[in-house]
Amino acid sequence: MSQNLVTLETRLENIQGIMPKFLPKLKKLGIETVHDLLWHFPTRYEDYSTISKIDQLKPGDTVTIRGEVNRVSTRRAWNRRMYITEVLVVDETGGINLVWFNQPFISKALQEGTRANFAGKVFENKTGKHMANPTFEVLRGTAQTTHTAGLVAVYPETRGLTSKGLRQYIKTFLDILKDIEDFLPEAVLKKNDLPELSAALRQIHFPSSKAQAQRAQARFAFEYVFLLQLNNLKLRADLAKEKAPKLAVSDANLKKLLAMLPFTLTDSQQQSLKEILADISRPHPMNRLLQGDVGSGKTAVAALAAVVAAANDRQAVFMAPTEVLARQHYHTLTKMFKKFDGGAALITGSEARVYYEKGLEEKKTKAALIKLIESGAIKTIIGTHSLIASGKDPVKSHSDHGASKKGGVHFPDPGIVIVDEQHRFGVRQRAALSDKKTADLLPHFLSMSATPIPRTLALAVFGDLDVSTINELPKGRKEIITKIVDPENRPKAYGFVKQHIKAGRQVFIIYPRIEQAEVTEDESGSVKKNVAWSESKAVKAEHERLSTKVFPDLRVGMLHGKLKAVDKKKVMEDFKRGVIDVLVSTSVVEVGVDVPNATIMVIEGAQHFGLAQLYQFRGRVGRGEHQSFCFLFTDSHSETTHKRLQALIDAKNGFELAEKDLELRGPGQFLGDKQTGLPDLAMNSLNDIRLVKSARDSASALLKKDPELATHPKLAEKLDNLSQQVHLE
Distance CA 355, CA 338 (A): 10
Please tell me the distance from the alpha carbon of residue 192 to that of residue 201, in angstroms, as a whole number. Answer: 17
42 binds, among ligand ADP, Mg ion, none (CB under 5 to 8 A by kind): none
Q: Which does 269 bind (CB under 5 to 8 A by kind): ligand ADP, Mg ion, none?
A: ligand ADP
| Cβ contact 182:189 at 8 Å | yes
Q: Which does 147 bind (CB under 5 to 8 A by kind): ligand ADP, Mg ion, none?
A: none
CA distance 94 to 70: 11
Q: CA 508 to CA 518: how far, in whole Å?
A: 31
Residues 120, 292, 619, 667: which binds ligand ADP (CB under 6 A)?
A: 292
CB-wise, 269 or 536, nearer to ligand ADP?
A: 269
Member of 269, 384, 434, 698 binding ligand ADP (CB under 6 A): 269
Stretch that binds ligand ADP, among 247-255, 294-302, 388-396, 572-580 (CB under 6 A): 294-302
Is 265 one of the binding residues for ligand ADP (CB under 6 A)? yes
Q: Please work out the total of residues on this chain that contact Mg ion, with binding judged by CB under 5 A.
A: 1
The nearer residue to ligand ADP, 162 or 296, going by C-beta atoms, is 296
Residue among 85, 162, 229, 299 that touches ligand ADP (CB under 6 A): 299
Q: Which does 578 bind (CB under 5 to 8 A by kind): ligand ADP, Mg ion, none?
A: none
Min separation Cβ 615 and ligand ADP, Å: 14
Contact of residue 217 among ligand ADP, Mg ion, none (CB under 5-8 Å per partner type): none
Nearest distance from C-beta of residue 302 to ligand ADP, angstroms: 8
Is there binding between residue 207 and ligand ADP (CB under 6 A)?
A: no
Tell me the C-alpha to C-alpha distance, in Å, between residue 129 and each of 98, 115, 116, 418, 570: 9, 20, 19, 69, 65
Which of 172, 266, 471, 482 touches ligand ADP by CB under 6 A?
Answer: 266
The residue (of 299 and 685) whose beta carbon lies closer to Mg ion is 299
Q: What distance in Å separates the CA atoms of residue 91 and residue 95, rounded to the nearest whole number?
A: 6
Interface with ligand ADP in residues 321-340 (CB under 6 A): 332, 335-336
Cα angle: 587, vertex 592, 595; to 5 degrees:
95
| Span interacting with Mg ion, options 19-27, 294-302, 536-544, 676-684, rule CB under 5 A | 294-302
Give the whole-angstrom CA distance, residue 685 versus residue 689: 8
Quick check: helix, strand or coil at residue 588? helix
Note whether 314 and 379 are within 8 A (CB).
Answer: yes
The window from 296-304, 548-556, 631-639, 646-654 that contacts Mg ion (CB under 5 A) reads 296-304
Q: Rounded CA gap, 217 and 201, in Å?
A: 9
C-beta of 299 vs 468, nearer to ligand ADP: 299
Query: Residue 497 or 593: which CB sits closer to Mg ion?
Result: 593
Q: How far is the CB of 251 from Mg ion (least distance, A)?
A: 28
426 binds ligand ADP (CB under 6 A): no
CA dist 632 and 606 (Å) reads 6
Q: Answer yes or no whether residue 474 interacts with ligand ADP by CB under 6 A.
A: yes
Query: Which of 157, 170, 237, 250 is CA-nearest to residue 203?
Result: 170
Residue 203 touching ligand ADP (CB under 6 A): no
266's contact among Mg ion, ligand ADP, none, with CB below 5 to 8 A by partner kind, is: ligand ADP
Q: Could you tell me how far CA 130 lies from the centroid of its own chain? A: 45
CA separation, residue 383 to residues 11, 33, 276, 329, 353 (Å): 45, 43, 22, 9, 11
Would you tell me how many other CB atoms lie within 10 Å of the CB of residue 109?
Answer: 14
Could you write out the DSSP letters of every residue in 634-666? -----HHHHHHHHHHHH-SSHHHHHHHHHHHH-
Nearest 10 degrees: Cα torsion 408, 409, 412, 413 = -100
266 contacts 475 by C-beta, under 8 angstroms:
yes
Distance, in Å, from the CA atom of 26 to the CA atom of 21, rounded to the nearest integer, reads 9
Look at residues 348, 293, 344 and name the one whose alpha carbon lies nearest to residue 319.
348
Give least dist CB 280 to ligand ADP, A. 18
Residue 296 interface partner, choices Mg ion, ligand ADP, none, CB cut-off 5-8 Å depending on type: ligand ADP
Interface residue with ligand ADP among 94, 95, 165, 295 (CB under 6 A) is: 295
CA-closest candidate to residue 157, choices 673, 522, 518, 676 = 522
Compare residues 319 and 497 and give the one whose CB is closer to ligand ADP.
Answer: 319
Binding mask 484-503 for ligand ADP (x = CB under 6 A): --------------------
Q: CB-wise, 296 or 586, nearer to ligand ADP? A: 296
Query: Closest distance between ligand ADP and the C-beta of residue 270, in Å?
Result: 9
The alpha carbon of residue 190 and the mean position of all alpha carbons in its chain are separated, in whole angstroms, by 32
Chain centroid to Cα 173, Å, comes to: 32
Site string for ligand ADP, 50-89 (x = CB under 6 A): ----------------------------------------
**Count of chain residues binding ligand ADP (CB under 6 A):** 16
Coil, strand or helix at 461: helix
Task: Give whichever of 52 and 296 is closer to ligand ADP, judged by the CB atom.
Answer: 296
Q: Give me the residues that bind Mg ion (CB under 5 A), please.
A: 299
Site residues, ligand ADP (CB under 6 A):
263, 265-266, 269, 292, 294-300, 332, 335-336, 474
